[in-house]
């Protein structure tokens, strides 16, 4: 799954490049950024900035390129930036996963985990382990398709690979399924 990170923080963009991600130092709404990169090769936009308004503006700006159904953003922190159904962009994961919440989880020792469901390890068992400390971000189905998880997404099943955020720190004996 190809990913491009656009960030106004030079150090973050550089760190992403060093980790093997394509990254652009700049503002996603700047015409020069749009012109220097072929965004039509990508299928989705996920707006995850600390600014609810910037996430909304990015959703509006890129909806004609990606289509309204392929625009996602973190939940807004305030009711003032809650949006109507006419504005592009579905909420990523859950309506409780704001930028501040995600940042707090990760700063507090939480982590992003990659786990494959099976007949032996079901979604119910995953939820028993993590309880409310689980926010699914992406689902890779058994056929390889990657989908962004939203509050309206369907249930998961055997063969699905889940990428989720959890507040639970890594257990000492956990095996290699971390992202």
pLDDT tops 80 at residue 5: yes
Q: pTM here?
A: 0.80
pLDDT of amino acid 137: 93
pLDDT at 170: 67
Cα separation, 43 vs 60, in Å, equals 15
> Mean of the per-residue pLDDT values for the chain?
84
CA dihedral (168, 151, 84, 55) positive or negative: positive
- What's the pLDDT score for residue 155? 83
Task: Report the distance separating Cα 81 and Cα 55, nearest Å.
Answer: 10
Return the percentage of the chain with pLDDT > 90, whole number.
23
Rounded mean pLDDT, 138-146: 89
Query: What pLDDT is recorded for position 160?
Result: 93
- Give per-residue pLDDT as tens, 78-122: 754 555 556 778 888 888 889 999 999 989 888 999 999 999 999
Give the residue from 2, 53, 61 showing the smallest Cα distance to 30: 61
Q: Distance of CA 23 to CAs 7, 16, 26, Å?
A: 8, 6, 9
């Amino acid at each position: 799954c190809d990913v491009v990170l656009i960030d106004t923080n030079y150090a973050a963009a550089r760190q992403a490049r060093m980790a093997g991600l394509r990254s652009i130092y700049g503002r996603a709404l700047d015409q020069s950024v749009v012109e220097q990169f072929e965004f039509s090769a990508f299928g989705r936009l996920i707006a995850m900035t600390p600014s609810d308004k910037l996430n909304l503006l990015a959703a509006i700006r890129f909806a004609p390129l990606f289509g309204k159904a392929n625009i996602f953003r973190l939940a807004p922190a305030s009711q003032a930036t809650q949006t109507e159904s006419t504005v592009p962009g579905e909420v990523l994961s859950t309506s409780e996963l704001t930028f501040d919440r995600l940042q707090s989880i990760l700063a507090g020792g939480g982590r992003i985990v990659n786990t494959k469901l099976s007949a032996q390890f079901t979604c119910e068992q995953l939820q028993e382990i993590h309880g409310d400390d689980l926010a699914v971000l992406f689902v890779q189905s058994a056929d390889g398709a990657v989908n962004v998880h939203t509050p309206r997404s369907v249930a998961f099943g055997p063969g699905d690979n889940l990428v989720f955020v959890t507040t639970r720190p890594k257990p000492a004996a956990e095996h290699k399924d971390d992202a």
